[in-house]
A and B are shown apart, each in its own frame.
Chain A
Amino acid sequence: MAVEQRELAANEVLLEVEGLHTQFFTEQGVVKAVDGVSFTIEKGKVLGIVGESGCGKSITALSIMRLLPEPRGRIVSGTITFHPPDGGSVNITKLDRHSAEMRSIRGQHIAMIFQEPMTSLNPVYTVGDQIIEAIQLHQNVDKEAARQRAIEVLHQVDIPDPERRINEYPHQMSGGQRQRVMIAMALSCYPSILIADEPTTALDVTIQAKILRNMRRLQQQYGMAIILITHDLGVIGQMADDVLVMYVGRKVEQASVRQLFLNPLHPYTQGLLRSIPLIGLRGKKLQPIAGSVPSPYNLPEGCCFAPRCPQAMPKCRQEVPIEAEVEPGHFVACWLYK
C-alpha cells in the first residue's frame, strides 16, 4: 500500500464528533468528564485540543478509541461518526467496544500514542515484536514483510540503525526513542487519524522539538489527520491547523490557530495566552489565571469559568453559555459575545 494512494480530495471529513457526553460513575458521584463536545476533523489537518489537566481532553480521545474503563466511565450520549477512506461511515458509539469492527478501526484507521513513553511499551517484548504484532494484526502480510515494514517505519521516525535496534527491548532505549517507537507503531498500519495525547510532554525540550518536526513531516507524507492533545500552546502554535479549547469538559472556543492567537475571544483562552511566555513580548508580565479548576464533583452553575472570570456577569453564573460563530470558523461559548 503506497502512501500516494491515500492522497484523496481535500476537505474530506474523516471524523465527526457530535454532542459527546462522557461520564464517570464513582463512589463520590458522577463526573461529567466530557460535557457536550462537538467537532470534526478533515483529512490531512491537525486539530489541537488544549486545556489544563483534567479538562476532558484525554477522555475525549479515549471516547473516540472506545478505550474508556467501561462501565465505570462511559459515553452516555452523542455520536462519533468515522468515515473510513474506502467509503461508508461507522457510528463508533454504537459499536461494542470489543467487537471485531471496533478493533479493526482501532490501530488500523485510528491510532493513538500516549503521554508516558517510559511505560507505553511492554517491557518483556522487543520493540520489533510489538510493531510487527500491530502490522500482522491489521494487514495480511507474512512475518518477514511485517518486519521489513517495521524497519522502514522505524527509519521514518529517525531511529538510527533500525535493523539492529528492532531487536532491542524498551528498557534499552531512551524516553525520546521509545516515543519514536510508539509513533512508528502507530504509523505502521497507515492510519487515517493519529491521536497524540501529550506526545512530548514527558520529554526534554530539545527532543520535543525534534519529535514534533518529525511528526509534522510524517503527517504530510502520510496525509493523515492528527488530533493533538496538549496543555502547551507552544506546541499548538507549531503543529496545529485548528484549535479547540476545553475547560472542565466543555468546549469554550474553537478557531484556526491564526484566529486564536491573534484574536482570542473567550476570557479563559485570553488567560491561557497571557500565561505563556512568547518571544517578542518582552517586558510584558506573565499573568496566571486566578483561582483554580473547580472540583469535577461539584461544578458551578452556568459557565464553569465564571468563578475565575474577570469579566463575569450575573448571567454567567446562571446559564450555560451557548456557542456562537463570531467570525467564519471561529466559535466561542461565552455570554460576552451574545
Chain B
Amino acid sequence: MAAFISRRLISMLITLALVSVVGFIVINLPPGSYLDVYRAQLMVLGTSTADQQIKALEQRYALDRPLYYQYFKWITGFVRGDFGRSFQYNREVSELVWARIGFTVVVSLCSLIFSWAVAIPIGIYSATHKYSGADNLFTFLSFIGLSIPSFLIALVLMVISSRVFGVSVGGLFSRAYEHAPWSWAKFVDFLQHLWIPVVVVGLADTAGLVRVMRGNLSDILSMQYVQTARAKGLPERVVIYKHAVRNALHPLIMNLGMSLPGIISGSTVVSIVLSLPTCGPLYFNALRSQDMFLAGTFLVFMAIMLVIGNFLADIALALVDPRIRYE
C-alpha cells in the first residue's frame, strides 16, 4: 500500500509540474495582456515614477530575461504563495483568490456528495428493476438532466423562485450577512443559500452517475460470483448490497476523475448566473479583461483541485479493491 501511494504521489507531482507549465503558457498566451498594456501606459507617461514602476515590474516578472527564467521566477513565487498582481483590481492575486478557492471547494464537494447520494440509490433501483416503469422514468430524466446546460437550470430556477416565491436566490449569503463575521446565524443563512448551487451543479453529474451506476450494477449482477452468493442461500438483499453494489462502486470511484472536472466547470459557469463568491465570476472576468496573472492562478488552482481529487480517488479505489492494492 505504501509503495502504491508513493508511486501515485510521484506521478501526481509530475502532473502538477506539467500543469504549472500549461498555466504559465496560458498566462503568457494573449497578445497585449494587461501587463503589456500597463507597461505601455507607464512608458507613455514617461515620468520618473513611471520609469521606476516599469523597472519594478520588469524585475518582479523578469520580463527582460528568457521565458524559461520567467517561468522559474513565477513558479518559485507561486509555491511560496506569491501569485503575481492583478492589474485590473490593482491588488495582489493572493488576496483575491484564497476566499474564493475555499467557497469553490465547498460548493464542488457538496455537489459531489449530493450527486453521489442521489445517483447511487437511483442507479441501484434502476439496475435491479430494469425496464420497469420507474426505471424507464429515471432513464428518461437522466437523459434530460444530461442535456440541459447547468446555467440554464440555474436561470430557470431563479426565475421560478422570484416569480413564485418572490425571493431572489443568488449568492451564498443574504445581504445582511455578506460582510458579517462567521456566526451560527450566518452559517444557517449560508446553508439556506448553498443548496441551490449544489443542486444545480450536481444535477448534470447526478444524471451521468445514474447511467454509470445502472450500467455497472447490471453488469455485476450478471457476474458468476453473484450467482455464487445466491447459491449459498443468501437473501437477495445481502446478495445485492454486500456482493454486487460493493463491486459496482469501483468504476464509480474511478469515474471521480471524470466527474470532478464537470463539477468544477459547472460550478464556474453556474456561479456567474447565481453570482456566487467562487472562482467562476472572477476567473471569466479576468479572462475577458486579460488580467492574466489572476486568470492563470485560478486555472492552476482548479487543476490542482482536480489532480488532488484524482489522487484521493486512486487511494480510495485501492482501499476498496484488493486487486489494485496488491498490484
Which residue numbers of A lie inside 8 Å of B, CB to CB? Answer: 65, 67, 98, 103-108, 111-112, 114, 116, 119-124, 133-134, 137-138, 169, 171-172, 182, 185
Please report whether the interface of chain B is mostly helix, strand, loop or mixed according to DSSP: helix
- A119, closest chain B residue (CB): B224
Partner of A111, one of B225, B231, B246: B231
Q: Which of B309-324 contact A (CB under 8 A)?
A: 320-323
Given A121-B228, A171-B326, residue A103 in contact with residue B235 (CB < 8 A)? yes
Given A119-B223, A120-B225, residue A171 in contact with residue B322 (CB < 8 A)? yes
Q: Which of B194-237 contact A (CB under 8 A)?
A: 223-225, 227-236
B236:A98 contact, CB within 8 angstroms: yes
Contacts A67-B230, A107-B233 supplied; 19 other A-B pairs, CB < 8 Å: A67-B227, A104-B233, A105-B233, A111-B231, A114-B224, A120-B224, A120-B225, A121-B225, A121-B228, A122-B247, A123-B225, A123-B247, A134-B232, A134-B233, A169-B323, A169-B326, A171-B323, A185-B228, A185-B232
Interface: B100 (CB within 8 A): no
Expressed in whole angstroms, the minimum distance between the Cβ of B286 and any Cβ of chain A is 46
A124:B321 contact, CB within 8 angstroms: yes
Given A121-B225, A171-B323, residue A137 in contact with residue B231 (CB < 8 A)? no
Partner of A106, one of B232, B320, B326: B232
- B321, closest chain A residue (CB): A124
The answer for the CA separation of A121 and B320 in the assembled complex, in Å, is: 16
29 A-B contact pairs sorted by A residue (CB < 8 Å): A67-B227, A67-B231, A103-B234, A106-B231, A106-B232, A106-B233, A107-B232, A112-B231, A114-B224, A119-B223, A119-B225, A120-B224, A120-B228, A121-B225, A121-B228, A122-B228, A122-B229, A123-B225, A123-B322, A123-B323, A124-B247, A124-B320, A133-B234, A134-B232, A171-B322, A171-B326, A172-B326, A182-B228, A185-B232
Please give, as numbers and ranges, the residues of chain B lying within 8 Å of A121 by CB-CB distance: 225, 228
The answer for the CA separation of A146 and B178 in the assembled complex, in Å, is: 61
The answer for the CA separation of A320 and B225 in the assembled complex, in Å, is: 39
Which of B227, B234, B236 lies at the interface centre, i.e. has the most chain A CB atoms within 10 A of its CB?
Answer: B227
| Interface magnitude class on chain B | 20 to 34
Please give, as numbers and ranges, the residues of chain B lying within 8 Å of A116 by CB-CB distance: 224
Per-residue A-contact encoding for B291-327, CB less than 8 Å = 1, 0 else:
0000000000000000000000000000011110010
Please give, as numbers and ranges, the residues of chain B lying within 8 Å of A172 by CB-CB distance: 326
Partner of B246, one of A65, A67, A108, A124: A124
Q: Which of B238-269 contact A (CB under 8 A)?
A: 243, 246-247
3 nearest CB pairs, A to B: A107-B233, A106-B233, A107-B232
The answer for the CA separation of A67 and B230 in the assembled complex, in Å, is: 7
Expressed in whole angstroms, the minimum distance between the Cβ of A334 and any Cβ of chain B is 35
Please give, as numbers and ranges, the residues of chain A lying within 8 Å of B230 by CB-CB distance: 67, 106
Please give, as numbers and ranges, the residues of chain B lying within 8 Å of A133 by CB-CB distance: 232, 234
Please give, as numbers and ranges, the residues of chain A lying within 8 Å of B243 by CB-CB distance: 122
The answer for the CA separation of A108 and B233 in the assembled complex, in Å, is: 7
The answer for the CA separation of A185 and B323 in the assembled complex, in Å, is: 22
The answer for the CA separation of A119 and B229 in the assembled complex, in Å, is: 12
Which of A114, A121, A123 lies at the interface centre, i.e. has the most chain B CB atoms within 10 A of its CB?
Answer: A123
- A67, closest chain B residue (CB): B230
The answer for the CA separation of A74 and B32 in the assembled complex, in Å, is: 74
The answer for the CA separation of A114 and B229 in the assembled complex, in Å, is: 12
Expressed in whole angstroms, the minimum distance between the Cβ of A105 and any Cβ of chain B is 7
Please give, as numbers and ranges, the residues of chain A lying within 8 Å of B227 by CB-CB distance: 67, 114
A138:B228 contact, CB within 8 angstroms: no
Please give, as numbers and ranges, the residues of chain A lying within 8 Å of B321 by CB-CB distance: 123-124
Which of B224, B243, B247, B320 lies at the interface centre, i.e. has the most chain A CB atoms within 10 A of its CB?
Answer: B224
Q: Which of B5-23 contact A (CB under 8 A)?
A: none
- A116, closest chain B residue (CB): B224
Please give, as numbers and ranges, the residues of chain B lying within 8 Å of A185 by CB-CB distance: 228, 232
Please give, as numbers and ranges, the residues of chain A lying within 8 Å of B320 by CB-CB distance: 124
Expressed in whole angstroms, the minimum distance between the Cβ of B73 and any Cβ of chain A is 49
Expressed in whole angstroms, the minimum distance between the Cβ of A183 and any Cβ of chain B is 12
The answer for the CA separation of A137 and B236 in the assembled complex, in Å, is: 13
Given A119-B225, A123-B247, residue A169 in contact with residue B322 (CB < 8 A)? yes
Expressed in whole angstroms, the minimum distance between the Cβ of B129 and any Cβ of chain A is 13
- B250, closest chain A residue (CB): A124
Which of A98, A105, A107, A124 lies at the interface centre, i.e. has the most chain B CB atoms within 10 A of its CB?
Answer: A124
Which of B227, B231, B235, B322 lies at the interface centre, i.e. has the most chain A CB atoms within 10 A of its CB?
Answer: B231
Partner of A98, one of B223, B231, B235: B235
- B243, closest chain A residue (CB): A122
Expressed in whole angstroms, the minimum distance between the Cβ of A77 and any Cβ of chain B is 24
B224:A138 contact, CB within 8 angstroms: no
Expressed in whole angstroms, the minimum distance between the Cβ of B320 and any Cβ of chain A is 7
A122:B225 contact, CB within 8 angstroms: yes
Please give, as numbers and ranges, the residues of chain A lying within 8 Å of B322 by CB-CB distance: 123-124, 169, 171
Partner of A114, one of B228, B233, B246: B228
A103:B233 contact, CB within 8 angstroms: yes
